[in-house]
Structure 1
């Protein structure tokens, strides 16, 4: 399959398979050519409870200038964890410029879970993220993030189909084209829901939740969806393939002693074909 050029904007952990450390092996294994722009250097996955984070905003600014001078271009830009309001503004502006050149913008708006913002994510940062998702071709929020972006009430018990359609419609009205909402409960069923703008079609794919938590599975999922899309697969099929693959690697690693480091992807790439 044809290789595509992808710019990944996310944090880089010193230890653990999350963010760039999870996305790079997956997308490289799928045959894509990668550029990486770390938003922060993080000592280890946050699950360990102790960590060090170094913001890289100035490095990002200077790197983008160098790459512009070198004439680098991308088929897609994928954004993830953004450390500060300044970074959010920088990335949103850059993605708007890239989109005008025909680049696909794929955004995972990492902001919160369980109905609340993550520590350190401000209301102002939320506004910048709304700006970024409004220019995105594909967004991949979890249910909490979708509610935050749409300004609707989060319901821990889940919602009905009509409410999910209304939630997606609000995100579309705000500017996002195709939408994938993960970690949702609709009428008592765990599902991934979405809308594909190219075909004007909706989908709701149920799944069985495996009672094991690994950090980085969302990054693996997003990478697989993006990688398949860039190979020409329809969005719904890309999502289903990604769901099946993530479930398989979680099940195969369920007995790992140290789950905080994430899934050891280099030993699992055979399952990601």
Structure 2
């Protein structure tokens, strides 16, 4: 059984971050440990929220895990609140002492051309630093733009521009890249680069004009679990896209969208 450490925030209300990823990864046969970067009262979409910084807890926990000899096959990171947390994650990575460690970074900062509520330029700088450690970096288009300072105002890119964006993201230091919520020549798609094959890829999708918090976390959890279970990055990305598409369509009529989707139901039905 593969072991993963998920470094992300834990919400009190809402199926996002650790609340979304832990049940999905567990259902996929992955042994999950969690390192909360913050306790969040509820999803930020509500507009009113409180965030408890858990940096001190993280620092003590990583030291204890090192003393106890805990080791992981994968470290997956999401929401970060301070530069000090990056240093802690770097120490966690270095403590693994293995060449086979998979580091996956989801630089959670924003969407739809803007940063999320409470996010600042400091968060962007934090994510640039963390991205250099990624074996797989998974920004959405907005996050890729903030990371690279390019294409902020663009609704769609040419193929050449898309390739340049991938290259600029790779220059942050990561190996493979998956950029979601992109448009190339008017086609909605996910674009990426697989360093194991040294090739770019593009997978088109039909845009469903609705937003649910946590779909990015679902995408990441499915992708990571597939890669850990031996799938190629392309196949894992395609499966994650299809999973999110099915869930969004199934929840179009849900009124309370800010809570996210009922992940446990999809697990029990064999859809996750």
TM-score by length of 2: 0.94
Match of 2:158 in 1: 160
- Structure 1 distance, partners of 2:176, 2:187, is 22
The 8 Å contact of residues 82 and 126 in structure 2, kept in 1 or not, is answered as no
5+ residue gaps in structure 2? Answer: none
**Counterpart residue number, 2:141:** 143
| Structure 1 position 194 matched with structure 2 position 192 | yes
Which consecutive residues of structure 1, in runs of 5 or more, have no partner in the other structure? Answer: none
Q: CA deviation at 1:100?
A: 5.5
Match of 1:272? 271
1:178 aligned partner: 176
Report the counterpart of residue 47 of structure 1 in structure 2: 45
Contact 1:249 1:271 in 2 (8 A): no
- Structure-2 change in CA distance of 1:46 and 1:123 (3 Å): closer
Please list the CA deviations of residues 70-127 of structure 1 after superposition, one character each: whole Å capped at 9, or x if unmatched: 1000000000000122223332443355476531100000122233333443434423
**SS of the counterpart of 2:13?**
coil
Q: Deviations over 1:228-249 (max 9, x none)?
A: 0000000000000111111111
| Mapping of residues 62-77 of structure 1, within 5 Å | 62-77=60-75
1:87 to 85, 88, 98: 85
Shift of 1:271: 4.1
- What SS does the aligned partner of 1:268 have? helix
Structure 1 residues 138 and 52, CA gap change in structure 2 (3 angstroms): same
Equivalent pair of 2:188/2:207 in contact (CA under 8 Å): yes
Distance 1:124 1:211, change over 3 A: closer
Question: Which whole-Å CA distance do the structure 1 matches of 2:112 and 2:210 have between them?
Answer: 17
Moved more, 85-94 or 33-42: 85-94
1:227: how far off?
A: 0.3
How many residues align? The count is 271
- 1:31 is matched with which residue? 29
SS in 2 for 1:272: coil
| CA–CA distance in structure 1, aligned partners of residues 58 and 271 of structure 2 | 30
Q: State the shift of 1:128 in Å.
A: 3.0
Structure 1 moving runs of 4+ over 6 Å: none
CA distance in structure 2 between the partners assigned to 1:266 and 1:31 by the alignment: 15
Matched with 1:130 is: 128
Structure 1 range deviating more: 72-81 or 88-97: 88-97
> Please, what TM-score do these two structures have when normalized by structure 1?
0.94
